[in-house]
Amino acid sequence: MASSSSTSSSSSSSREGDGSSYIECFKYSRRATLWSVVGRPDGGAGLAGERAVVGGWVRSSAVVRARRASGPTSPSRKPEVETTGLTCTEVLMTRVPLIRCIARLMAGGISAAASGGSARRPSVGTALVRINDGSCVADLQIVVDSSLCPLDQVTATGACVLVEGKIEQVEGTAPQHVVQMKVEKILHIGPVDSEKYPLPNAHLSSDLVRGYPHLAARTAAVASTARVRSEMIHAVHAFFQSNGFFHVNTPIITTTSAGNRSKMFRLIRIFSKSDNDSRITPEAVRAAIKEKTKQVEALKRSESNKEALQAAEQDLQRANALSRQLEQGGSTESSPDDFFHCPAYLTPGHTLHLETYACALSSVYTFSTAFQAESLDSDRSLAERWTVDVELAFAELEDAISCTEDCVKSLCSTVSKDCSDELKFLSSSQAGDTTNSRVESAVSSPWQRIKYTEAVNTLLQVTDKTFESKLELGMPLSHEHLSYLADDLYKKPVVIYEYPKQLKPFYARLKEDLKTVSTFDLVVPKVGIVACGAQKEERMDNLTSRIEESGLQIEKLEWYLDTRRHGTVKHSGFSIDMERLILFVTGLKDVRDVIPFYRTKGHAKC
Touching a second copy, residues 42-61 (CB under 8 A): 55-58
Q: Minimum distance from CB of 243 to a second copy (Å)?
A: 6
Q: Which of residues 209-228 bind a second copy (CB under 8 A)?
A: 212-218, 223, 226-227
Q: Minimum distance from CB of 406 to a second copy (Å)?
A: 8
Which residue, 470 or 566, is less far from a second copy as judged by CB? 566
Q: Is 423 in the site for a second copy (CB under 8 A)?
A: no
Q: Minimum distance from CB of 64 to a second copy (Å)?
A: 23
Q: Is 290 in the site for a second copy (CB under 8 A)?
A: no
Segment lying near a second copy (by CB under 8 A), choices 67-75, 262-270, 460-468, 521-529:
262-270
| Binding-site size, a second copy (CB under 8 A) | 149
Distance of CA 327 to the CA centre of its chain: 44
Q: Is 92 in the site for a second copy (CB under 8 A)?
A: no
Q: Which of 341, 261, 356 is nearest to 559 (CA)?
A: 356
Helix (H) or strand (E) holding 295: helix 282-301
Q: Is 230 in the site for a second copy (CB under 8 A)?
A: yes
Q: DSSP assignment, residue 592?
A: G
Give the Cα separation of 391 and 463 in Å (integer): 40
Which residue, 486 or 594, is less far from a second copy as judged by CB? 594
Segment lying near a second copy (by CB under 8 A), choices 85-93, 115-123, 143-151, 563-571:
563-571
Give the Cα separation of 559 and 533 in Å (integer): 22
Q: Which of 204, 170, 180, 242 is nearest to 86 (CA)?
A: 204
Give the Cα separation of 509 and 535 in Å (integer): 6
Which residue, 101 or 131, is less far from a second copy as judged by CB? 131
Helix (H) or strand (E) holding 62: strand 51-65
Q: Is 393 in the site for a second copy (CB under 8 A)?
A: yes
Q: Is 89 in the site for a second copy (CB under 8 A)?
A: no
Q: Which of 467, 593, 440, 458 is nearest to 525 (CA)?
A: 440
Exactly one of 38, 98, 105, 159 binds a second copy (CB under 8 A); which one? Answer: 159
Q: Is 545 in the site for a second copy (CB under 8 A)?
A: no
Which residue, 195 or 440, is less far from a second copy as judged by CB? 195
Q: Minimum distance from CB of 463 to a second copy (Å)?
A: 33
Q: Is 381 in the site for a second copy (CB under 8 A)?
A: no
Q: DSSP assignment, residue 37?
A: T
Exactly one of 69, 252, 460, 473 binds a second copy (CB under 8 A); which one? Answer: 252
CA angle 211, 527, 523 (to 5 degrees): 145
* 406 CB-side CA count, 13 A: 12
For residues 387 and 576, is the Cβ–Cβ distance under 8 A?
A: yes
Segment lying near a second copy (by CB under 8 A), choices 44-52, 82-90, 331-339, 465-473:
331-339
Q: Is 475 in the site for a second copy (CB under 8 A)?
A: no
Helix (H) or strand (E) holding 569: none
Segment lying near a second copy (by CB under 8 A), choices 87-95, 128-136, 138-146, 176-184:
128-136
Give the Cα separation of 391 and 364 in Å (integer): 5
Which residue, 58 or 62, is less far from a second copy as judged by CB? 58
Q: Is 435 in the site for a second copy (CB under 8 A)?
A: no
Which residue, 5 or 61, is less far from a second copy as judged by CB? 5
Q: Minimum distance from CB of 77 to a second copy (Å)?
A: 31
Q: Is 4 in the site for a second copy (CB under 8 A)?
A: yes
For residue 532, the cross-strand partners are: 521, 575
Phi, psi of 49 (to 5 degrees): 95, -15
Q: What string of DSSP letters covers 319-340?
A: HHHHHHHHHTTS--TTSGGGTT
The one-letter code for the residue type at 179 is V
Q: Which of 335, 341, 340 is nearest to 323 (CA)?
A: 335
Q: Is 8 in the site for a second copy (CB under 8 A)?
A: yes
Q: Is 15 in the site for a second copy (CB under 8 A)?
A: yes
Exactly one of 103, 110, 208, 361 binds a second copy (CB under 8 A); which one? Answer: 361
Q: Is 267 in the site for a second copy (CB under 8 A)?
A: yes
Q: Minimum distance from CB of 297 to a second copy (Å)?
A: 21
Q: Minimum distance from CB of 338 to a second copy (Å)?
A: 9
Phi, psi of 402 (to 5 degrees): -70, -30
Give the Cα separation of 203 and 268 in Å (integer): 43
